[in-house]
Amino acid sequence: MLLLRSIFWLTAAYLIIGPNVTIPESMNQLSNQTLQGAKQVVAGQLDNINCTSLQCSGAKAVIAASLSAKSNPRAGNNAPNNGNPAPKPIYEQTDSTIPIPRPRLVRTG
């Protein structure tokens, strides 16, 4: 019985996904559609809020600004690259004056 269930679900997954489907492309499209739908829902709910305090008005302004801002796929890296290669990680630099600790043995946990 277990073998039959496994065969059934593997066949169903193969038919749904299909041999010619590019998963990253379809996932990006689905992600973008979901994000746009969520932004519309939040914007609609944001319009319904009546603020009486400064803190509520400020929070409402921050949320409205974040909804209208472009999404940055590389968040946290706002520095322009200007065509320069990315710096190497510290463990790959040979001229570093910082002492690099030795790797831990597997048996020490």
Secondary structure tally for the chain: helices H, strands E:
3, 0
For 5-36, give one letter per residue: b (16+ CB within 10 A) or e. eeeeeeeeeeeeeeeeeeeeeeeeeeeeeeee
pLDDT at position 78: 54
pLDDT at position 109: 58
What's this model's pTM, rounded to 2 decimal places?
Answer: 0.41
Whether 4 contacts 10, CB under 8 Å: no
pLDDT at position 22: 66
pLDDT at position 82: 67
- 10-residue stretch averages of pLDDT, the chain, 109 residues long: 86 79 75 88 86 88 82 53 71 66 72
Q: What is the C-alpha separation between 74 and 14, in angstroms, rounded? A: 33
Q: What contacts 23, CB < 8 A, 6 or more positions away? A: 17
pLDDT at position 46: 85
